[in-house]
Structure 1
Amino acid sequence: MSVTRRQVLWTGAVACVAGLRAVSAAEPIHRNGQSHLKLSLAAYSFHRHLPQNWPAGRKKTGTMTLLEFIDFCAEQNLDAAELTSYYFPAEVTPDFLRQIRERCFRLGLDISGTAIGNDFCKPAGEALDAEKALTRKWIDYAAELGAPVIRIFAGNVPKGDTEAAALDRCVAAIDEAVGYAATKGVVLALENHGGVTATPEQLLGIVKRVAPSPYFGVNFDSGNFRTADPYAALEMIAPYAMNAQVKVTVSPNGGKKEEADLTRIITMLRTAHYRGYVTLEYEEEQEPREAIPPLIKKLREIIAG
């Protein structure tokens, strides 16, 4: 397909979903019913064991396969697995996607979502175009897998650039990506992941600039704010959460890690009437096979309580 034809089809796809944009991501998300939480585990929790196939500069071999990670999730009696994109083969084939989907279904696991390492603040031109193409590719993969949501990043201000200019590019790129994601029935959730989303004000500033869409919202990450009071920051973004992940530590003011108050984190999600998956993303030094089972047990008890 020629670039010109691809651009025409892309523009048309975005235009076709304009009528779907009836829900504003700039407003807290309204959900019927009481808060309902289910447990998932992010493949990133096994980043030391899984082979990393992209980005190119971070490639490494592994001692665990993505299918074995799915088996581990089933052994923990989880509701779902989050299949982080880094651990898929460098060349993702339809056969591999079908194999993953079949394994999850056979084991009674949902695919709660996936995640990509995009940077929409990159300079306009080839660099930014590559980030957009990456995002569209993974939207297609998510749709094939039946993954309802993709965690996306905003990015970092390039050296010599201004935050205002970087944000303009970022917002425009998110708008494009959300338009395409809507045609595939995939939600994009913007994570508080440092850079231009380092504070709740920065994150929500971007969210409020993106064109309203039911296919866009916030990915609530309990461990990523490095503000003076991470819990207060999390309370600000919880009402906008389309997806949620928890970590077992927080770092006030970017300092030494402290044990996270998981009960407080779950309570704020309940208060925000969040319904959906709570995905554990384990990043600590202990062997994940040993550390994760008691953490899952603890989260289950908190959610049940």
Structure 2
Amino acid sequence: MAPMSRRSFLGAAAAAAAASSFGPTASAPRALAIDPIRRTRPSHLKLSIAAYSYRQFLTGDRPTMDLFDFVDLAADMALDAVEPTSYYFPADADDAYLHRLRRHAFLLGLDISGTAIGNDFCVVEGPEREKQLELARTWIDRAAALNAPVIRVFAGRTPKGDSEEAAVARAIEGFKAVLPYAEQKGVMLALENHGGITATVDQMMRLIEGIDHPYFAVNLDTGNFHTEDPYGDLARIAPYAVNVQVKTEIAPEGGPKQEADLSRLVGILRDVKYSGYVVLEYEAAEDPMNAIPRHVERLRQLIG
């Protein structure tokens, strides 16, 4: 038998992990473009929180909170890090502002685990597409200034009247256009399963297989697969994750939202030896000021 290459070994290991999640009806594994993240240590999880969790306080005509207040809240909950979402930065935020925010977090013992943008790389050629690519480059610069190692990014949605095949091709080319700059700045781009052309695990795998770059990986969002088996689908992309955003609810296909099984989600991460930040991104109806500390404590118990 010919010796097994590192890519073949890792691909086989990822396929085996996925098969164990799906059972005997799992589809055959497909060729991989990026390797699963190679991790040899036991899973090491750290807690962060997304500023998006407090969106109603950070936006509007009279916001009652800014990002410095958000960092203070995270420190009060003894978290390890914060994820300041791009939407809540002042329009004129410059390096001086970014450095002040980074210093503020550092003095409170917090890392900046990453940031997040709302890009769409499916748009057709023209000024809007250039705007989307420039948004990514701008936030690569800002992430570097914040000392944030990763940006949560989207792929986008198929424009009306277009084909998904064409939209996927444009998304792949969009990532290929900005990833060299991300590498230059030392910032990873992590693709989220977020509707549109990333609504299902097979759609996610199509992009994972189409983008082969060391600074490209997955942002696993636990609440965004609305499929028959969202937990199984999350397990399939977990080997590629460099960042995880945990939602407290999950909505399988054909059913209502239900409380997420946080223990099962943490188990999926441990099964693939995921090490890194678990970012609480709270979206449920209950007042976040009351609900978030409770969910943080539950996650802390599970992580240990």
Q: Distance in 2 between matches of 1:97 and 1:255?
A: 42
Q: Deviations over 1:25-63 (max 9, x none)?
A: 6221111311100000000000111026xxxxxxx5411
- Mapping of 1:8-27 within 5 angstroms? 26-27=34-35
Match of 1:21? Answer: none
CA contact (8 A) 1:25 1:240 kept: no
Counterpart secondary structure, 1:28: coil
Match of 1:40? Answer: 48
Q: Distance in 1 between matches of 2:254 and 2:283?
A: 16
Q: Determine if the alignment matches structure 1 residue 177 to structure 2 residue 185.
A: no
CA contact (8 A) 1:36 1:275 kept: yes
Quote the offset at 1:253 in angstroms: 0.7
- Closer, same or farther: CA 45–250 of 1 in aligned 2, 3 Å: same
Q: Distance in 2 between matches of 1:126 and 1:254?
A: 39
Q: Distance in 2 between matches of 1:133 and 1:303?
A: 37
**Which contiguous aligned blocks of 4+ residues in structure 1 show a shift greater than 3 angstroms?**
none
Match of 1:57? Answer: none
Q: Distance in 1 between matches of 2:154 and 2:254?
A: 19
Q: Which runs of 5+ in 1 are unaligned?
A: 1-23, 53-59
Q: Deviations over 1:44-89 (max 9, x none)?
A: 000111026xxxxxxx541111100000000000000001000000
Q: Distance in 1 between matches of 2:275 and 2:33?
A: 16
Match of 1:290? Answer: 290
Counterpart secondary structure, 1:278: strand
Q: Distance in 1 between matches of 2:218 and 2:254?
A: 22
Read off the aligned partner of 1:303 and give its amino acid letter. I
CA RMSD after TM alignment: 1.2
Q: Distance in 2 between matches of 1:182 and 1:247?
A: 29
Quote the offset at 1:92 in angstroms: 1.4
- Mapping of 1:1-305 within 5 angstroms? 26-51=34-59, 61-210=62-211, 212-253=212-253, 255-304=255-304
Quote the offset at 1:285 in angstroms: 1.3
CA contact (8 A) 1:25 1:217 kept: no
> How many residue pairs were aligned?
273
Q: Which runs of 5+ in 2 are unaligned?
A: 1-31
Read off the aligned partner of 2:179 and give its amino acid letter. V
Q: Deviations over 1:178-201 (max 9, x none)?
A: 111000000000000000000011
State TM-score, norm by structure 1: 0.87
Counterpart secondary structure, 1:252: coil
Q: Distance in 1 between matches of 2:130 and 2:285?
A: 36
Counterpart secondary structure, 1:198: coil
Quote the offset at 1:105 in angstroms: 0.7
Match of 2:17? Answer: none
- Closer, same or farther: CA 195–150 of 1 in aligned 2, 3 Å: same
CA contact (8 A) 1:73 1:80 kept: yes
Quote the offset at 1:113 in angstroms: 0.2
Q: Distance in 2 between matches of 1:193 and 1:135?
A: 17
Match of 1:55? Answer: none
Read off the aligned partner of 2:94 and give its amino acid letter. T
